[in-house]
Amino acid sequence: MEGQRSRESTATNSDHAPPLLHTLTPSRRTVPNRVFAAVYICVITALFYRHVQTILHSTTLISFSLTLALFVSDLILAFLWVSAHSFRVRPVYRKEYPENIEKFLEPSDFPGLDIFIFTTDPYLEPPTRVVNTALSVMAYEYPTDKISIYVSDDGGSALSLFAFMEAAKFAAHWLPFFEFFDDPDINRCMPIDITMLFVNDQVLLNKNRDRDITGHCLPNLVYVSRQKSPTSPYNFKAGALNVRVLAAMTNAPIILTLDCDMYSNDPRTPFRALCYVLDPAEIQNRLAFVQFPQQFHGLNESEIHGSEHRRLFKLNPFGLDGLSEPNYLGTGCFIHRRALLGDPSTLVPPVIKEISPAHIANNPITAPSVLEFAHRLAGCHYENQTEWGSKIGFRYGSLVEDFFTGFRLQCEEWRSIFCNPEKAAFLGNAPINFRDFLGQNKRWQIGLLEAASS
């Protein structure tokens, strides 16, 4: 595939060559899989030939209808087989070399990273968990002044806001000591005492103002709760994803989207994503996003519902990666902001220049003009008469906005990459009872039908 370096390139990497950022190895099962597919297609063709012959020579109406019904059933089974086997035509495995990133680019030249965390219901998604997710990404080993964290609270909960105000204070004490903890569980077992209080302030940490107890700067931390109105469509998570506050405030070229029930398990994950995002060959190959698998913790051995969805979240993406088209899974995904603004050759102007990719957000995020503008963008009428949700941004019209948006980007000839490091980059919560499992699957199936009929 164009732009991808094979494993052999490791051997030829000399001192003068650019540092090796990643390798790609096709699966050893590719050839047997293809031979199997060829044999299977021959058998299916013979079966169809026989069906057609029988239909043409049937003498009674009953035999005609029976053979026709069998033929239609076999057609459906063949379609299912073709769609399942396409994942096995070219599975590939990737490896990144994040340790080479600093040889490739000075840390001061690393791109900005806007991290977007979503929450809706403080009772179903306890604020301590959402706070833990935010703290886990604040601890990224990435230049702090390049990171901005935005928390989107669709529940507009005072409790969540207060939890984040406490978290902002806690971060100043905790982040300097993060590196001393070896225990990977540390991210999810931090007790934070929460009491109810309502304060209407959005910027909780400002990198130009706030320091940790050792004097180092802290990343920006911004709480966003978009306006809702009975007369404007709400569009669920896709609507939250399209809140352009982050573009107006920091406008980083890379966005990481993260569900509140999924925390970072490896502080070096951004470097892994940079191995692809900064590679000129991948940029030329129209890279839109780098997706990490959804992996879960806390599932016990008697978990019988298959909530982990290993095929969906881990096995199928290997197959799709070989075809340059792994799906967007909604969380744990680094996206080029440019990919959300039209196809690779045509930039669709996003109405106001402050949220176009070329805009450099120089003003401090607490400047009154920036805050006022951010409020306007979080308003529910901003999108009226614009192309947000149809041609630009995350796409509306399906409950599985992640799959739908990724699919539409791929239709626009953007490409994607699946990155599956040995140490899980993110760990999340899967439904652990049958009712939640059914609810989630029902939502997904309806969303897929909406996407198919759009």
- The smaller minimum CB distance to ligand UPG, of residues 381 and 443, is found at 443
3-state secondary structure 172-220: HHHHHHHHHCCCHHHHHCCCCCCCCCCCCCCEEECCCCCECCCCCECCE
CB of 126 to ligand UPG, least distance (A): 12
Binding mask 326-365 for Mn ion (x = CB under 5 A): ----------------------------------------
CB of 38 to ligand UPG, least distance (A): 36
241-280 residues near Mn ion, rule: CB under 5 A: 261
Q: Strands of 220-224's sheet, edge to edge? A: 203-205, 220-224, 147-153, 113-119, 254-259, 333-336, 287-291, 415-418
| Cα→Cα distances 1→104, 191, 355, 373, Å | 23, 48, 33, 43
Binding mask 175-204 for Mn ion (x = CB under 5 A): ------------------------------
Residue nearest to ligand UPG (CB): 330
Residue nearest to Mn ion (CB): 261
CB of 438 to ligand UPG, least distance (A): 12
Q: What is the largest CA-CA distance in the chain?
A: 90
Q: What is the DSSP string of 112-169?
A: PEEEEEEE--TTTS-HHHHHHHHHHHHT-SS-GGGEEEEEEETT--HHHHHHHHHHHH
H-state helical runs in 378-433: 401-411
CB of 123 to Mn ion, least distance (A): 15
Question: Which residues does the annotation place in the binding site for UDP-alpha-D-glucose?
Answer: 125, 154
- The smaller minimum CB distance to ligand UPG, of residues 92 and 238, is found at 238
For residue 321, state whether it binds Mn ion (rule: CB under 5 A): no
Amino acid at 114: D
Distance CA(330)–CA(336), nearest Å, equals 14
Q: Element (H or E) spanning 221, and its range?
A: strand 220-224
Question: Which residues does the annotation place in the binding site?
Answer: 125, 154, 237, 259
Question: Which residues does the annotation place in the binding site for Mn(2+)?
Answer: 237, 259
> Which residue is catalytic, options 114, 153, 154, 210?
154
Q: Is 402 a catalytic residue?
A: yes
> Which residue is catalytic, options 153, 261, 279, 402?
402
Q: Is 212 a catalytic residue?
A: no
| φ, ψ of residue 71 in degrees (nearest 5) | -65, -45
The entry of Mn ion, ligand UPG, none near residue 437 (CB within 5 to 8 angstroms by kind) is: none
CB of 261 to Mn ion, least distance (A): 5
- Closest to 163 in 3D by CA, of 190, 195, 188, 140: 195
| Residue 353 bridge partners (DSSP) | none
Distance CA(415)–CA(282), nearest Å, equals 9
- The smaller minimum CB distance to ligand UPG, of residues 58 and 440, is found at 440
Site for ligand UPG, rule CB under 6 A? 118-120, 125, 152, 154, 236-237, 240, 259-261, 330-331, 399-400, 402, 440, 443-444, 447
| Residue 220 bridge partners (DSSP) | 148
The entry of ligand UPG, Mn ion, none near residue 443 (CB within 5 to 8 angstroms by kind) is: ligand UPG
213-232 residues near Mn ion, rule: CB under 5 A: none
Q: Is 285 helix (H, G, I), strand (E, B) or coil?
A: coil
Residues with active-site annotation: 154, 402
**Residues in the site for Mn ion, rule: CB under 5 A?**
261
